[in-house]
Structure 1
């Protein structure tokens, strides 16, 4: 039978990245598509010891329900880490969520009515658009450059229509997905000032913040906003293990109260076992040393990837050089269609895939970009895929 689905389902479309990840089942394809951590870097032995200890009669309560807001000890540990990072808080300022993605969904559910205005970077994280779209917002996009979101352009947009106040601005200030670019300090300060002046909320998404492997660590937007106007999202997915599905929301307590009610309605709580395991890991092991090892590996992979690009790709292709994170962003000459090129030539001829860039633009798609992730591939596969792809691009575009 044909179900009488809600009108909002017209905004729920297949996810281009998820469709591409199916290619991972084909060992012949070198995929630069998924923003996956390197599985060889997961702390498997330590987590095995933690789970083995928890799955005993003495710790049977880790298989029980717990508070919707999250286990108290884990929230205390996250609060300690965030306080050291300049965001003074305690356990009661935090909600544990199913990865940062659930945080995006809950904030959108709390704030958006159909037709409300959301500001985003251009391009922006596809997963955020997937979370926001069912709530039927309008989008206004802000251009980016090497310093991240262009706050001067944002100010001009806001001043041009002062009555059209956005509900919130969404940003990934560190090693942005998809571009890899970070927001400069002067623009962070300007963004927070604009939020106060024009009266909108900032949704700060920081899944890659800990993955800095060069350059100066910058303050979070939350730490720069004394009035609580910034809702801060973080995640263990990129620094511990994504399958544990744990992240957090840091916000003022009245905001957290509303988000907790929405989370209770959605899934009651995150996995007690996974929260207990994460907490035990933080108690027993040095996660900062683990993050240091991850960052060293990703810096090496980035350098291998960019060296391959310089060696094999046409000079007309431009790439970002991230100081952290998992991605580089490729820009091709005007008129080049990265989606058509992937389906028509890359996959059938070179057995290589990327994420076409058009899907990251909320309003007007730009077809001449692609997101490429270097994080999950070993060096030999990384270089082999880049060499194959480079040969095909030189054939298509020339040198």
Structure 2
């Protein structure tokens, strides 16, 4: 006779202590919290989000871009309609279907010469980071070097993968090559293996710092001497205020030390969620087997996202075709917009905080040469409590900096982003910010940081 009895054990939830430790890390809550605050105070002027400008695109552009790509397949490659249909509607090549267009574009824009087979097309740059970190970091001793403050996406990815991280204090010009060499020595002395350095050489998120050209050459020399790979992430490289174009590390690389992580989120449209990896390093195996690192990354991608959506690639592919694979020229309007916005932000801060107030309040900020972000130091704890008061009472949002540091620093710093505003909103937002900072400094003059 069948047992028809039901269990008397009551349903229970999952114990957070039995889930991965990263889920209790405040870092993983940081972006969700900012989104939640922005939704609650939707009327506030937001210097928090690093969203690209939407003004250069209209919804109907998407259909045109897909058509430009399919026309390219038919006209330039001689594909049949059935082949084009399969390209758009099926899974497609794991490493991507616009790899040849990307290879042409990075050569035209950055002087980077890699074979199309070295390109892995990813679901945004975040997947690119995860794939590269998973492939490179094989033992508990393998350690990732990161300048601090650092983009939370890479530190979060490292924590999800249980990768050891060693921070390097960032100077006004980004990480110093001598400091990188010293950090590698510290890791080895502690029994670890310094495997790679992650850096954003141009207008970094969150600090806005840029690495001088001579330091880029020295960084490559340190990488060779210390047997380090360089993970170069350069989403803001086009957006200089001065028009100066500094060479990417990958364009200077002669020893294949640099793995370049790219994204079309800032130079095209973030909604497509298309990024890429330039991974032309040779991988050696048993029996003199040789492959490209791109091929090894493909194996990991096949077990994560399977491939990058063909329709998203078609949108970006159409943009590349229309621009003649010259995105820097196609971004001329956006480059001018972002440069004007950073000028407006710095100018508004100068007007709202004249010299006597700077000295009295102890406020300061850097002056990035481009990009989206500016770093500001204030005389109080710039934490979530202060952010909520700023939004609720003064109608202005910003980003606390403490989550970007690996060593508990940054408690009296905040990040301002000017990418998604116009100069008029920037001016009004800075006036509100000045009122908040002045009032907060007076309300909590002796409040300890943290």
Task: Tell me the TM-score normalised to structure 2 length.
Answer: 0.81
Shift of 1:120: 0.6
The aligned counterpart of 2:133 is 108
> In the alignment, what sits opposite 2:62?
47
Other structure's SS at 2:219 match? helix
Q: Return the offset for 1:175.
A: 0.6
In the alignment, the residues of structure 2 paired with residue 86 and residue 235 of structure 1 have an alpha-carbon distance, to the nearest angstrom, of 17
Tell me what 1:318 maps to: 364
Match status 1:127 vs 2:142: no
Contact 1:43 1:240 in 2 (8 A): no
| Counterpart among 197, 214, 217 of residue 169 in structure 1 | 197
Distance 2:167 2:234 in 1: 19
1:264 equivalent in alignment to 2:305: no
CA deviation string 1:264-301 (max 9, x = no partner): 10011011011122112221246434311001001111
2:331 aligned counterpart, secondary structure: helix
Match of 1:32 in 2: 47
Is residue 68–residue 321 contact of structure 2 (8 Å, CA) maintained in 1?
Answer: no
Aligned position for 2:448: none
1:288 and 1:224 map into 2 onto residues whose CA distance is 19
- Correspondence for 1:2 among 9, 13, 25: 13
Partner residue in 2 for 1:377: 421
C-alpha separation between the residues in 2 aligned to 1:352 and 1:196? 46
Match of residue 223 from structure 1: 251
Residues matched between the structures, number: 394
Larger Rg: 2
Q: Aligned to 1:304, what secondary structure does the other structure show?
A: helix
Offset of 1:198 from its aligned partner? 1.1
Root-mean-square deviation (CA), in Å? 2.3
Structure 1 residue aligned with 2:342: 302
Which among 434, 437, 442 is matched to residue 390 of structure 1?
434
CA deviation string 1:293-350 (max 9, x = no partner)? 00100111111111111111341322222222111111224xx211155345212211
Displacement after TM superposition at 1:376 (Å): 0.4
Does the CA contact (< 8 Å) of 2:391 and 2:397 recur in 1?
yes
> Residue 45 of structure 1: CA displacement?
4.7
1:171-190 superposed matches below 5 A: 171-190=199-218
Q: 1:89 aligns with which of 114, 122, 146?
A: 114
SS in 2 for 1:107: helix
Cα distance in structure 2, aligned partners of 1:44 and 1:176: 30
Report if aligned partners of 1:263, 1:269 keep a CA contact under 8 Å in 2. Answer: yes
Alignment TM-score, normalising by the size of structure 1: 0.91
The Cα shift of 1:147 comes to 1.7
Q: Which moved more, 1:170-179 or 1:48-57?
A: 48-57
CA contact (8 A) 2:201 2:233 kept: yes
Deviations 1:350-380 (A, max 9, x none): 1211110000012333201111100101233
The whole-number CA distance in structure 2 between the counterparts of 1:178 and 1:212 is 16
Structure 2 segments unaligned to the other structure (5+ residues): 1-11, 72-80, 282-291, 443-450
- Deviations 1:122-172 (Å, cap 9, x if unpaired)? 101011111111122222211222221122222233345545431211101
Q: Show the counterpart of 2:374.
A: 328
**Structure 2 residue aligned with 1:368, among 402, 412, 416?**
412
Alignment gaps of 5+ in structure 1: none
Q: CA deviation at 1:181?
A: 0.9
Post-superposition CA distance 1:226-276 (Å, at most 9, x none):
221211101100011001001110012531122111111001101101112
Q: How does 1:128-167 map to 2 (within 5 A)?
A: 128-160=154-186, 162-163=188-189, 164-167=192-195
CA–CA distance in structure 2, aligned partners of residues 216 and 161 of structure 1: 36
Structure 1 residues 43 and 194: alpha-carbon distance in aligned structure 2, compared to 1, 3 A threshold: farther
